[in-house]
Structure 1
């Protein structure tokens, strides 16, 4: 059954979901994520769960509580090795709950992960749970490894991220069940991603499973960053057992070179080619060579390859699947089954241009992707007027439907292709204009920041964006702008606003809690309506005056303004 586990339990659940979403976004995973809290009784009581959705939404069809049975969970725990009445076997109950959730919801499109530890809150042991879209999860690149006992093990970067988020959420829940400290899940998204990537790489580069070198990803990033006589490093390292019959060493190195000898590894990489790479086993380079045949790829799950593609960039491959790519120390999962053209573009079209020919626009976007140096496609609601306005920094054309070949050819020149909602071209070589509006990314080039300014101009003038841009960077990154905002709980936003106002009403506010609350408001500022912004700004002004001796008082000067793109449809009411 679904009951309230503690007052405002949904605030912690919302922060867990937001934190998981932030870390998974950073990892390049755009699948669905729902957060839940499940409480197992400490005494003779019914099982309880808090489902996704605010407390007013108890009849949510995604409720996971209705089919949970405590007797089944206890039976699974017994099969896993028994249970203790005084000292709960947290991990076994976690495994049992996860197994039970996935069994009773088979075929419903979700896969559930449970935190390895619980927190004792009142008369229940509470676990954080993340439900992830099963189709999206299964499309994530998987690393396979055969253990010493012959069993197959599967791992993805997405699973590593989810596991780490749940581990951290369990610590926050035990420390502060009110949940305010859990906002750090979002604030530490890159730190959590780096830890998850290190775990993933440790398993991938050590197929024996005995040496879990958790800094392997840093070692590889350092190798990729090392120049050799001014040249960037490009080459590969294949993980393989020297006794594997499918491995063909051309040269054996004796004694093997430790992978921690960075300069030696970088020098050896100069001898590699597309068909000959370094061979590594248990963190040591034992030779140069390759695999004997294509069939060998299916014969052993241990043939994982690290490909160095430039300064500070490398990729992790197994067979013909890219599992992971790392640039300047930041990891992202490898090639997805679906690109942003298939996932993000239809959503943004539905949001800003209902009635547009989505299939035709996707066809053009895929054709524009076949470029050698980056490209841009601009979809404008009034493309004819925009083509006139953007002259002379664009060439107008008679409205025409472009075939895929011509679209790809037009991307060879600088500037964007401008099309209308039906896909007809109105201008080529388009240079976008716009004003800086506090958004953008200084680490990206003009191909990314020009459309950010272009779209931001409409927002600065109090209008919704009038166009959609699809951006292809030279490094292979694809961005669809603007991004469609996700929905959040209205009650969660109210909770943050009320929590801030509470600090103005007490004589000695909890400064840590205040800082966490302000940080959460900044993270969710898009969802603040005009009345919310007024309340927050008044509260911040009051606190700024009363906390004149607080060194970190500068965070209380943030000016919140309603976002023109926000309306009540962005809430789960």
Structure 2
């Protein structure tokens, strides 16, 4: 929350409410002060929120604010981008006591090719003569980071153990980190992952991912609770010990840097025989994590049964073209979607690990919710409809909550909500600005198993 703005004699506060659990899950630094005076942002989220609230304060100073709905000149992605700039650029203040556009410099470096190869390598950013930085090669004349081509060339000399060293403004040598106290939060790593792609890290924790100038938070690796829930809901006879076995195998598969795919099927043996000409059949065996890391290094999927036994390696999945695919995603994911679309009577879960580390579960099942959530919201809508005067605030809040849970509505729910909404809207004065809501339509994939 920023300082309030006085509008027509009233002090107006802008407050942004967030879920505490979600905020705590976001990677963040602990310290926020530089030289005891200047505040730096601890995360991409904090920097974005700060920029958003600042824009709100500015908007409140517009004459006759509120007479038009659109008061911002930026959309959501633009706020996130400015948040990323603010977050990274504050490191320049941390190391130099002055602002400059480090975010822009890193993006331009990531855009450079070297002999046809996309950007790769790492830059360690810290103060000069940092006690945890061991310099193996020192440049007599430091190279400014704005010299994009020269920096890109130097990145070719980096490896897993040796990085380019910079102070946020200039590259001054090559070296590595040893005995760093992470509580100091004064040493960061920029890791280049391809053309216009890079990550900001504190040690091995990814604070921000940037692709084509657009910052985003790191994707959460698949959690055991979510994965176990999918196994329980898809495989009718799976045991607790089987879940743990399969989980350990999947954990090993997700470490494959080049991406991989694991198919878990109750008909794994039959599928191994059917696809014999396009896979390597093996005697059913429970893999260790180490073996799983090895077998996922080759092309094709690994075929498991629900007990975690492997039946085939390097499986080339078949399937027919389907409108459920996504042309914006990779061949591996679309292959999994096509295959699953032809296995209507099978209990099957496919884990797709992309080259960028993103993990997809196919099918992805929405979380289960208590049925009474829907019942309470319908009851709230009925109360609004029965009241003598429509409470527009309660009506809009209820409708927004129903829109968030639209997937979980049965046909009868949709009919009831649509009828109530129409009745309520007919009672609202026509000259009042209102939100237009569409009719709810039942989702064909919804069934009672999505209720707890």
What TM bracket, shorter-length normalisation? 0.5 to 0.7
Q: Specify which of 103, 108, 116 is matched with residue 217 of structure 1.
A: 103
Q: CA deviation at 1:227?
A: 0.9
Q: Is the 8 A contact 1:394 1:430 kept in 2?
A: yes
Tell me whether 1:240 sits opposite 2:118 in the alignment: no
Tell me whether 1:129 sits opposite 2:13 in the alignment: no
Q: CA deviation at 1:416?
A: 1.6
RMSD: 5.1
Q: Distance in 2 between matches of 1:296 and 1:390?
A: 52
Q: Distance in 2 between matches of 1:423 and 1:484?
A: 21
Q: Distance in 2 between matches of 1:419 and 1:265?
A: 46
Q: CA deviation at 1:289?
A: 3.6
Q: Is the 8 A contact 1:251 1:289 kept in 2?
A: yes
Name the CA shift for 1:441/1:383 in 2 (closer, same or farther; >3 Å): same
Q: CA deviation at 1:340?
A: 0.6
Q: Specify which of 90, 94, 100 is matched with residue 203 of structure 1.
A: 90
Q: Partner of 1:474: helix, strand, or coil?
A: coil
Q: Distance in 2 between matches of 1:475 and 1:320?
A: 16
Q: Partner of 1:200: helix, strand, or coil?
A: helix
Name the CA shift for 1:143/1:276 in 2 (closer, same or farther; >3 Å): farther
**1:446 maps to which residue?**
331
Q: Distance in 2 between matches of 1:318 and 1:219?
A: 19
Q: Distance in 1 between matches of 2:99 and 2:375?
A: 43
Q: Is the 8 A contact 2:80 2:215 kept in 1?
A: yes
Q: Is the 8 A contact 1:529 1:562 kept in 2?
A: yes
Q: CA deviation at 1:446?
A: 1.9
Tell me whether 1:287 sits opposite 2:169 in the alignment: no
Name the CA shift for 1:559/1:362 in 2 (closer, same or farther; >3 Å): same
Q: Partner of 1:316: helix, strand, or coil?
A: strand
Q: Is the 8 A contact 2:219 2:358 kept in 1?
A: no
Matches within 5 A, 1:344-355: 344-353=226-235, 355=237
Query: How many correspondences in the alignment?
Result: 403
Tell me whether 1:157 sits opposite 2:44 in the alignment: yes
Q: Distance in 1 between matches of 2:282 and 2:274?
A: 13
**1:484 maps to which residue?**
365
Name the CA shift for 1:266/1:403 in 2 (closer, same or farther; >3 Å): closer
Compute the TM-score of the two structures, normalised by the length of structure 2.
0.68
Name the CA shift for 1:270/1:564 in 2 (closer, same or farther; >3 Å): same
Name the CA shift for 1:418/1:286 in 2 (closer, same or farther; >3 Å): closer
Q: Is the 8 A contact 2:122 2:190 kept in 1?
A: yes
| 1:44-81 residue CA offsets vs partner (Å, 9 max, x unmatched) | xxxxxxxxxxxxxxxxxxxxxxxxxxxxxxxxx9xx99
Q: Is the 8 A contact 2:263 2:304 kept in 1?
A: yes
Q: Specify which of 443, 446, 450 is matched with residue 566 of structure 1.
A: 446
Q: Distance in 1 between matches of 2:255 and 2:129?
A: 42
Matches within 5 A, 1:309-320: 309-320=193-204
Tell me whether 1:432 sits opposite 2:333 in the alignment: no
Name the CA shift for 1:534/1:391 in 2 (closer, same or farther; >3 Å): farther
Q: Partner of 2:149: helix, strand, or coil?
A: helix
**2:149 maps to which residue?**
263
Q: CA deviation at 1:226?
A: 0.6
Q: Distance in 2 between matches of 1:435 and 1:148?
A: 62
Q: Distance in 2 between matches of 1:192 and 1:164?
A: 7
Compute the TM-score of the two structures, normalised by the length of structure 1.
0.55
Name the CA shift for 1:162/1:378 in 2 (closer, same or farther; >3 Å): farther
Q: CA deviation at 1:361?
A: 1.3
Which fold has the larger relative contact order, with Cα–Cα distance below 8 Å and residues 6 or more apart in sequence?
1
**1:147 maps to which residue?**
34
Q: Partner of 1:233: helix, strand, or coil?
A: coil
Name the CA shift for 1:85/1:331 in 2 (closer, same or farther; >3 Å): closer
Q: Distance in 1 between matches of 2:272 and 2:349?
A: 15
Q: Is the 8 A contact 2:378 2:417 kept in 1?
A: no
Q: CA deviation at 1:265?
A: 3.2
What stretches of structure 2 of length at least 5 have no aligned partner? 383-398, 419-437
| 1:275-299 residue CA offsets vs partner (Å, 9 max, x unmatched) | 5544434x521522446x6235558
Q: Distance in 2 between matches of 1:154 and 1:396?
A: 54
Name the CA shift for 1:268/1:370 in 2 (closer, same or farther; >3 Å): closer
**2:349 maps to which residue?**
468
Tell me whether 1:400 sits opposite 2:292 in the alignment: no
What stretches of structure 1 of length at least 5 have no aligned partner? 1-76, 91-116, 119-126, 499-516, 538-557
Name the CA shift for 1:144/1:379 in 2 (closer, same or farther; >3 Å): farther
Q: Distance in 1 between matches of 2:342 and 2:232?
A: 21
Q: Distance in 1 between matches of 2:282 and 2:367?
A: 37
Q: Distance in 1 between matches of 2:58 and 2:232?
A: 40
Q: Distance in 2 between matches of 1:492 and 1:218?
A: 49
Q: Distance in 1 between matches of 2:289 and 2:153?
A: 44
**1:361 maps to which residue?**
246
